[in-house]
């Protein structure tokens, strides 16, 4: 085993605390587990908390295969001011009167629900999107004009949870959105559409794809477990992939080790049902509670897309 490799290969779901960047969390996990090969899927801003999926060891290679196509958030939107970053971290760039009707829960509920559906969205200038090889937020911080391409996104659900009147009018909302949607942009655009100004003043990711807060651990819990006790905290990699799976027999295990194609009669779908594989099906290959590879059906045989020689732990199909 090379230096700075712990022998741990797993996915973890971390409940990211406020104030830490996603990269800060990666560094904490590296230190706790003594493993340099750590990555994350789905960036969260320091001002946001909640579900952050982490890949450790060989599972860092798995992160690019996770679709995590939809996200769920609890968000707080403050009215009366727009900021440079579209959240509470930025400077106020515009203020506006807030129509009294927006404080009425019945009105707010209808407006919030009207956000559902496909839409074109302009990402925040202060975002991690790369523009000509540089992050948009780096350009914005230097005062450069940042023009980002509009994104076509979908808001599957928009629900009002409550209305508060403190220093400012605040809507407490929940959103279910497609991958790539910026809740900061929803907050900014909402104020503009209502003839006022608004920004995001609180954000918590409650789910990333099939992975929710109930599957998360805190950094403190991970630290308490340490490298020797982390086994009980693993995410099931097959569940995270949302792929059908196949349990390898001895012959198939040996074939997988050397990348030799083999036939497969049946696969188990995520809902527990079974069927024969068809062309282009991607299948998670499992042996003794470990994900050994992701293979693809080509003709009548499975062929290697990715192998994990040590196996990614935590498979419970």
Contacts of 243 (CB under 8 A, 6+ apart): 270, 282, 283, 284, 294
Cβ proximity of 51 and 206 under 8 Å = yes
Helix (H) or strand (E) holding 65: none
DSSP letter at 316 equals: -
Contacts of 101 (CB under 8 A, 6+ apart): 107
Q: Token digits for 146? A: 């940042």
Alpha helices in the chain (DSSP H): 22-33, 105-113, 136-141, 183-193, 219-229, 237-241, 250-257
Active-site residue identified among 45, 74, 86, 236: 45
Vertex 35 angle, CA 31 and 37, to 5°? 120
Cβ proximity of 174 and 115 under 8 Å = no
Cα–Cα distance measured from residue 270 to residue 40, given in angstroms and rounded to the nearest whole number: 23
Is 69 catalytic? The answer is no
**Residues taking part in catalysis:** 45
């Amino acid at each position: 085993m090379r230096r700075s490799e712990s022998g741990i290969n797993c996915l973890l779901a971390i409940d990211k605390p406020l104030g830490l960047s996603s990269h800060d969390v990666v560094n904490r996990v590296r230190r706790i587990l003594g493993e340099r090969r750590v990555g994350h899927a789905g960036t969260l801003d320091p001002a946001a908390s909640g579900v952050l999926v982490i890949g450790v060891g060989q599972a860092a290679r798995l992160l690019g295969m996770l679709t995590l196509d939809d996200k769920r958030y609890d968000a707080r939107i403050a009215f009366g001011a727009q900021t440079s970053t579209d959240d509470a971290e930025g400077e106020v760039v515009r203020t506006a009167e807030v129509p009294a009707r927006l404080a009425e829960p019945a009105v707010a509920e209808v407006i919030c629900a009207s956000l559902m559906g496909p839409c074109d969205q302009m990402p925040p200038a202060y975002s991690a999107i790369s523009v000509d090889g540089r992050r948009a937020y780096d350009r914005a911080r230097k005062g450069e004009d940042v023009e980002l391409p509009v994104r076509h996104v979908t808001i599957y659900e928009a629900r009002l949870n409550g209305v508060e009147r403190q220093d400012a009018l605040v809507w407490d909302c929940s959103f279910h959105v497609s991958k790539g949607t910026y809740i900061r942009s929803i907050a900014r655009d909402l104020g503009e559409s209502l003839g006022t100004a608004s920004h995001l003043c609180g954000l918590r990711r409650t789910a990333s794809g099939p992975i929710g807060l109930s599957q998360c651990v805190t950094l403190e819990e991970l630290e308490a477990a340490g490298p020797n006790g982390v086994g009980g905290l693993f995410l099931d990699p097959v569940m995270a992939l949302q792929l059908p799976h196949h349990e390898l027999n001895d012959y198939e295990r040996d074939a997988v080790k050397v990348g030799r194609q083999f036939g497969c009669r049946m696969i188990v779908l995520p809902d527990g049902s079974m069927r024969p594989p068809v062309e282009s099906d991607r299948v998670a290959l499992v042996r003794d509670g470990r994900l050994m590879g992701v293979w693809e059906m080509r003709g009548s045989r499975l062929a290697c897309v990715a192998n994990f020689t040590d196996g990614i732990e935590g498979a419970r199909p």
